[in-house]
């Protein structure tokens, strides 16, 4: 993956985090694969952190999508009306709204998908939608904004959203919060959510890429505050997707529980080469570890060669990862990222029924 000076300057932060994990593992008597900063495992983790994942039109979804009625208007939630005299009052309305938000988040991340990172390396929205439709993709996840550049993909969304929706493909746009100025992070995310094309199309869900590459000071209190402020800003019935670090190695410190309180779906970054060749086992463990947090899971699979390990997933590993995600109960799997997905990988995705 291409590098920038900004990315490189943040490597030390990731290494420090991994060193802390190594201490914990050593204290428990376990051999820590990341204890040697020059090991393949350590280089793999640095590559993961250096990436810049930096992830409501509902009428088009109709009855094919989970929890949505065929006649729903764009941006409308499929809520059960609260009955007069309902003794549960606001609590019932809140529960109904949350259920609707979860249904909509699942609808936007179900089945097969792809991450769009650098559109200039991918092609036009027309080419993207045509290839996505041919491969049987049900969702696209596009990098939309960040603290440095703001919301910069409006011109692309103006064309991409109506084309994708016409093809029955959901579009999730994601932002990478820095968590230094949380109100600014929330305001930027809200601007992406509020964007509407001239034809009235909106994104189907907002993704938040929450990792220390973007937020060096990421911790549980900051994550909890961000999740709470974002949910308050968008309301209870808007679908939010947490793009999270892999729980296989980061569960000891990563704020999964805090994010679960404000988001509707978790999408773990399950990139396995250099750590293991067994994509199926890696993905299956990840999905199972996230079960305790009570949110549906939509996996992000690896479709790029991790620098330092020099390894692109094998066909068997990629196929196994898809099957493992499905068997473990994930609602879908998307791949990081479109630009680096090989021809055989595209054929594999197209031939996998989901």
Domain boundaries, the chain: 5-43, 54-351
| Res 307 pLDDT > 80 | no
Domain 54-351 has CATH 3.30.360.10: no
| Res 55 pLDDT > 80 | no
- Reported confidence tier of residue 95, pLDDT bands at 50, 70, 90: low
As a whole-number percent, the residues of the chain with pLDDT over 70 amount to 71
| Res 214 pLDDT > 60 | yes
Q: How far apart are CA 260 and CA 258, in angstroms?
A: 5
Mean pLDDT of 201-210: 98
Mean pLDDT of 33-52: 38
Asked if 115 contacts 141 with a C-beta cutoff of 8 angstroms, the reply is: yes
Asked if 278 contacts 316 with a C-beta cutoff of 8 angstroms, the reply is: no
- Reported confidence tier of residue 350, pLDDT bands at 50, 70, 90: very high
Q: How far apart are the first and last CA of the chain?
A: 28
How much is the pLDDT for 62? 34
How much is the pLDDT for 274? 78
Asked if 44 contacts 273 with a C-beta cutoff of 8 angstroms, the reply is: yes
| Res 174 pLDDT > 70 | yes
The pTM score is 0.76
What does the pLDDT look like over 233-267, one tens digit per residue? 999 999 999 999 999 999 999 999 999 999 999 99
As a whole-number percent, the residues of the chain with pLDDT over 90 amount to 68
Residue 291 buriedness (CB in 10 A; 0-12 / 13-18 / 19+):
exposed
- DSSP structure string for 269-304: EE--TTT-S-HHHHHHHHHHHHGGGT--BEEEEE-S
Cβ count within 10 A of residue 195: 19
- DSSP structure string for 190-215: HHHHH---TTS---SEEEEE-STTT-
Asked if 84 contacts 303 with a C-beta cutoff of 8 angstroms, the reply is: no
How much is the pLDDT for 152? 95
E strands, the chain, where? 111-116, 139-146, 150-151, 170-175, 205-209, 240-244, 265-270, 298-302, 332-336
Q: What is the DSSP letter of 221?
A: H
Compute the mean pLDDT over every residue in the chain, rounded to the nearest whole number: 80
């Amino acid at each position: 993956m291409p590098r920038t000076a900004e990315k490189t300057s943040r490597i030390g932060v990731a290494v420090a985090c991994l060193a802390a994990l190594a201490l914990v593992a050593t204290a428990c008597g376990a051999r820590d694969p990341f204890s040697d900063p020059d090991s393949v495992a350590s280089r793999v983790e640095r590559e993961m952190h250096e990436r810049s994942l930096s992830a409501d039109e509902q009428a088009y979804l109709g009855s094919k999508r989970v929890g949505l009625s065929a006649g729903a208007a764009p941006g409308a939630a499929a809520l059960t009306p609260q009955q007069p005299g309902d003794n549960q009052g606001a609590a019932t309305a809140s529960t109904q709204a949350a259920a609707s938000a979860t249904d909509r988040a699942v609808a936007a991340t179900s089945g097969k998908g792809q991450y769009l990172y650098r559109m200039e390396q991918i092609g036009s929205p027309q080419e993207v939608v045509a290839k996505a439709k041919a491969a049987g993709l049900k969702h696209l996840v596009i990098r939309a904004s960040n603290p440095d550049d703001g919301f910069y993909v409006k011109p692309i969304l103006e064309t991409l959203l109506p084309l994708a929706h016409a093809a029955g493909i959901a579009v999730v746009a994601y932002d990478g919060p820095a968590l230094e100025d949380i109100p600014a992070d929330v305001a930027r995310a809200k601007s992406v959510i509020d964007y509407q094309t001239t034809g009235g199309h909106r994104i189907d869900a907002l993704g938040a890429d929450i990792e220390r590459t973007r937020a060096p000071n990421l911790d549980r209190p900051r994550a909890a505050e961000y999740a709470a402020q974002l949910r308050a800003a968008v309301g209870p019935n808007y679908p939010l997707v947490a793009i999270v670090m892999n729980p296989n190695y980061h569960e000891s410190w990563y704020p999964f529980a805090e994010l679960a309180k404000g988001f509707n779906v978790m999408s773990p970054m399950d990139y396995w080469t250099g750590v293991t060749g067994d994509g199926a086992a890696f993905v299956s463990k990840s999905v199972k570890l996230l079960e305790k947090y009570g949110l549906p899971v939509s996996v992000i699979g690896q479709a790029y060669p991790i620098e330092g390990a020099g390894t692109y997933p094998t066909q068997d590993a990629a196929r196994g990862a898809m099957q493992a995600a499905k068997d473990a109960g994930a609602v879908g799997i998307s791949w990081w990222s479109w630009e680096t997905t090989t021809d055989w990988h595209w054929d594999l995705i197209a031939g996998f029924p989901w």
